[in-house]
């Protein structure tokens, strides 16, 4: 079943969708970050359908979505002052906090960890579905595992239709990359996955923050992933990708041209609008993610740009990187994994 709620939520359709959740089915629904594929987080069998639909490894934990802060105590315990301060300042919103779980959350949701990742989306459709379903909803991004996350239904409908019981279309997502994931260790917030909420914003609230060493790296097969997005190949199209970042803009243009020539021009470049003419590429070979000084547009557009580039069928996708600060951490975290660490950098 497909429902379009971009302009207005249909009450009767909402009732149908919520009944599906309560009855152990899985659905696709919008959030402010990316689309999610969700199930009743308290139902192990239902959650198992998410892993099957995505082809997701079982040791990759899920995020549990709640409708409001009052529900956190039902699935998490021993919340510290620092954790509560993060909850008060960043929830609802594009922010996930890892807390000590209560036994009510099945092992399949947490990959057997004694913690649970919790988020309260601010998207009105997502919160409506969670509220009227009456259960917490476990939901990773709506895409086949390893592929770019879905920010528009048309980007993901073909690969997931038939694997879910309902698709709810809420239009293009506002942010375009997944939530910031934080775990408090020794009273210090540690960013495990960067997102729209930046380390600088967390530091401004708590007075301290640390960035996990694996943000720009990856875990080994035998290491435990405490957050989604830490361990496996993510966000990648079929076409192999190369990431290029130079601090100096003239260097950036020079090296982009160099790599275009290396692949005999059989490339698609994903980059900022101002560089299209300088690279002498037409609309078929250049996909803009927005203006060079607008990281929010870059974040919102990157996953759709990757999917569009993949359809062109070139031998390589070359992607312009950004400075690793603020929202740039989140963008580069996604792109380094997209390119499987094929990354050229010149500071």
Q: What is the CATH number of the domain that holds 312?
A: 3.40.50.11030
310 and 172 part of one domain: no
State the pLDDT confidence band at 219, using cuts at 50, 70 and 90. Answer: low
pLDDT over threshold 90, residue 223: no
219 in a structural domain: no
Rg (CA), the chain: 20
Task: Kindly state whether residues 162 and 62 are assigned to the same domain.
Answer: yes
The verdict on 155 and 247 lying in the same domain is no
- Of 211, 233, 268, the domain-final residue: 211
The reply to whether 229 falls in a domain is: no
Whether residue 268 lies inside any domain: the answer is yes
Domain end residue (candidates: 193, 211, 229): 211
In a domain, 65, yes or no: yes
Residues of the domain holding 94: 2-211
Q: How many residues does the chain have?
A: 347
3-state secondary structure string, the chain?
Answer: CEEECCCCCCHHHHHHHHHHHHCCCCEEECCCCCCEEEEECCCHHHHHHHHHHHCCCCCCCCEEECCCHHHHHHHEECCCHHHHHHHHHHCCCCEEEEEEECCCCCHHHHCCCCEEEEECCCCHHHHHHHHHHCCCEECCECCCCCCCCCCCHHHHHHHHCCCCCEEEECCCCCCCCCCEEEEEECCEEEEEECCCCCHHHHHHHHCCCEECCCCCCCCCCCCCCCCCCCCCCCCCCCCCEEEEEECCHHHHHHHHHHHHHHCCCCEEEEECHHHCHHHCCCCCCEEECCCCCCHHHHHHHHHHHHHHHHHHCCCEEEEECCCCCCHHHHHHHHHHHHCCCCEEEEC
CATH code, 83: 3.90.870.10
Res 280: pLDDT: 86
Do 245 and 207 have their domain in common? no
> Does the pLDDT at position 195 exceed 70?
yes
Rounded CA gap, 204 and 89, in Å?
11
In a domain, 284, yes or no: yes
pLDDT-above-90 percentage for the chain: 84
pLDDT at 224 over 60: yes
- In the chain, the number of structural domains is 2
41 within some domain = yes
Q: Do 190 and 312 belong together in one domain?
A: no
Q: Could you give the count of Cα atoms lying within 13 Å of 193 in the half-sphere of its Cβ? A: 24
Determine the average pLDDT of the residues in 56-80: 95
Q: Considering only 41-55, 62-76, 278-292, which range has the smallest mean pLDDT?
A: 278-292
Domain contains 221: no
Residue 248 and residue 175 in one domain: no
Mean pLDDT of all residues belonging to the chain: 93
Q: Is residue 232 part of a domain?
A: no
144 and 8 share one domain: yes
Q: Are residues 206 and 252 in the same domain?
A: no
pTM above the 0.75 mark? Answer: yes
Tell whether the model's pLDDT for residue 222 goes beyond 80: no
The predicted model gives 117-121 an average pLDDT of 98
* pLDDT band with cut points at 50, 70 and 90 for residue 203: very high
Is residue 207 domain-shared with residue 97, that is, in the same domain? yes
More confident residue, 317 or 57: 317
What is the share, in percent, of the chain residues with pLDDT greater than 70? 95
- Asked if 154 and 251 sit in the same domain, the reply is no
> Are both 193 and 325 inside the same structural domain?
no
Is residue 162 predicted with pLDDT exceeding 60? yes
Q: Tell whether 11 and 146 lie within a shared domain.
A: yes
């Amino acid at each position: 079943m497909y429902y379009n709620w971009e302009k207005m939520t249909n009450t009767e359709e909402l009732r149908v969708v919520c009944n599906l959740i309560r009855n152990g089915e899985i659905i696709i629904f919008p959030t402010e970050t990316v689309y999610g594929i969700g199930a009743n987080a308290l139902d192990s069998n239902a959650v198992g359908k998410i892993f099957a639909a995505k082809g997701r490894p079982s040791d990759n934990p899920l995020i549990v979505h709640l409708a409001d802060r009052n529900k956190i105590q039902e699935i998490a315990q021993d919340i510290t002052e620092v954790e509560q301060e993060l909850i008060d300042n960043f929830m609802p919103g594009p922010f996930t906090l890892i807390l000590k779980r209560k036994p009510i959350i099945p092992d399949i949701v947490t990959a057997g960890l004694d913690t649970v990742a919790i988020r309260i989306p601010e998207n009105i459709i997502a919160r409506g579905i969670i509220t009227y379903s009456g259960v917490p909803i476990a939901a990773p991004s709506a895409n086949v595992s390893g592929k770019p996350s879905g920010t528009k239904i048309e980007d993901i409908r073909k690969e997931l239709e038939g694997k879910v019981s309902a698709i709810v279309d809420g239009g293009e997502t506002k942010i375009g990359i997944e939530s910031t994931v934080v775990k408090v260790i020794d009273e210090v917030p540690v960013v495990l996955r960067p997102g729209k909420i930046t380390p600088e914003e967390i530091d401004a609230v708590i007075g301290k923050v640390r960035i996990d060493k694996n943000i720009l790296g990856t875990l080994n097969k035998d290491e435990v992933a405490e957050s989604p997005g830490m361990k496996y190949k993510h966000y990648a199209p079929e076409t192999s990708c190369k990431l290029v970042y130079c601090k100096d803009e003239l260097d950036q243009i020079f090296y982009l041209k160099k790599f275009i020539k290396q692949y005999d021009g059989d490339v698609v470049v994903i980059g900022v609008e101002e560089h299209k003419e300088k690279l002498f590429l037409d609309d078929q070979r250049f996909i803009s993610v927005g203006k060079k000084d607008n990281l929010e547009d870059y974040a919102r557009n990157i996953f759709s740009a990757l999917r569009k580039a993949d359809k062109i069928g070139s031998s390589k996708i070359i992607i312009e990187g950004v400075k690793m600060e603020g929202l740039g951490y989140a963008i580069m975290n996604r792109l380094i994994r997209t390119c499987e660490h094929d990354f050229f950098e010149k500071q």
